[in-house]
Amino acid sequence: MRICRVFTLLACVAVLVGYGRNVHAQEPSRAGEIEQEQAEKTKTLHPYPVSTGERIMNKVEDITVNGGLHWHPFFDNAYRGGGFALGVGYMHHVSSYNLLDVRGSYSIRNYKRAEVEFMAPRMFQRRAALSLLGGYREATQVGFYGIGTDTVKEDRANFAFDRWYGGGLLTVRPTRRFLMLRGGAELTEWNTKPGEGTAPSVEEFYTPATLPGLGARITYLHSQATAGIDWRQAAPDYARRGGFYGVTFHDYKDNDHEFGFKQVDYEIIQHFPILRETWVISVRGFVETTWLKGDQEIPYFMLPSLGGGSNLRGYSSWRFRDRNSLLLQGEWRIMVNRYLDTVFFADAGKVERLTADLNLDGLKHDFGFGARFHTPLVTPLRIDLAKSPEGLALVFSTSAVF
């Protein structure tokens, strides 16, 4: 029995030793297989392929936000309704963050714009931004349809103007978020002239007695102040959550004491993200109210207005004018990819002589579909197709609606 137990013990030891040898023999083989697999994967590794669209949008962001290029395109028009504009600008860093931008544009309707702007975006430990702007604008065929919401588009007349301006605007965010304060002043001269284009000129239907400001040359000292709560993330020109609630006070002082007035604007913007911001419901309410200074009048071209690519998109630019206005807008924004959103939208609004009449009765309205080509901070191209009772309107813009 003892001999059997000894042989059994020896057999077990032999099995264990053999298993250990097999394990040690397999380990180098398995390690080699892993190394070989990693070597094969290494052969197929390559940098992330950047698409043509991504390269274009990265370049747009570098130009519009980062100041990465000195020369840059400038498509902003001199005035709403000027048609497609082409322009160029030259941007120069005068310090680490401060910029000097010289730019100009020319539109297919002979609208001209030339200006120079100094920007200091990071003052007071990034709590303030300063803009100093001076320039010249000329518009040749601005539409005027009469005063009030009940005007008809067949009564269009055109006027022209040129305008010099210079001023500064300081935006302060004391806590960097939420509270926003803004103030500024501008000295500007408006010189109105007979209109060009296919529509008759405005003086063929009106006189200075029936239309205040007709043929006038007015020098304004325009001062303004804004107080608001702003918790939009990213940037106002492309935000997908947060909101803005603000009030802006304007004072237009006419040196000749003929056309001075005051204006107060109320604005509410709110973005509601859905499905991790894949969808966003964005709404806006905007009210403009004006007050006369004694027996002075508000010139017709300075009245609050609706119509065009930034408010009532289904109507012609400057379609409705009066002393007060109400605008309501809503958009359903759908993210397609990193640089493209599609949008369904609706606008409604009215103009009235009395603030008491700024209600929901008799609103003009439109609806439509659009696309937004954007970076994380700006919207350099917006395309909207809008339908209103007066027809279809196609909008091209270089900024967001709100």
Task: Spell out the per-residue pLDDT of the chain, length 402, in tens.
Answer: 444 454 444 444 444 445 444 434 444 566 666 667 666 655 565 565 666 666 666 665 555 555 456 899 999 999 999 999 999 999 999 998 999 999 999 999 999 999 999 999 999 989 999 999 999 999 999 999 999 999 999 999 999 999 999 999 999 999 988 999 999 999 999 999 999 999 999 999 999 999 999 999 999 999 999 999 999 987 888 999 999 999 999 999 999 999 999 999 999 999 999 998 999 999 999 999 999 999 999 999 999 999 999 999 999 999 999 999 999 999 999 999 989 999 999 999 999 999 999 999 999 999 999 999 998 888 999 999 999 999 999 999 989 999
39 in any annotated domain? no
27 in any annotated domain? no
366 in any annotated domain? yes
Amino acid at 110: N
Structure tokens at 140: 């040749």
Cross-strand pairs, 165: 135, 188
Which pLDDT tens digit goes with each residue over 152-179?
Answer: 999 999 999 999 999 999 999 999 889 9
- 221 contacts: CB under 8 Å, gap ≥ 6: 185, 186, 187, 252, 253, 255
30 in any annotated domain? no
Total domain count, the chain = 1
26 in any annotated domain? no
Q: Are 301 and 269 in contact (CB under 8 A)?
A: no
Which pLDDT tens digit goes with each residue over 78-120?
Answer: 999 999 999 999 999 999 899 999 999 999 999 999 999 999 9
28 in any annotated domain? no
Where in the sequence is the domain holding 142, given as residue range(s)? 52-397
Q: Are 259 and 294 in contact (CB under 8 A)?
A: no
207 in any annotated domain? yes
Q: What angle do CA 346, 107, 142 make, to 5 degrees?
A: 65
Indicate which CATH number applies to the domain containing 142: 2.40.160.50
232 in any annotated domain? yes
What one-character-per-residue DSSP string does 147-171 give?
SSTT--GGG-EEEEEEEEEEEEEEE
Query: Which of 210-248 are b and which e, b meaning 16 or more Cβ less than 10 Å from the residue's Cβ?
Result: ebbbbebebebebebebebebebeeebbbbbebbbbbeb
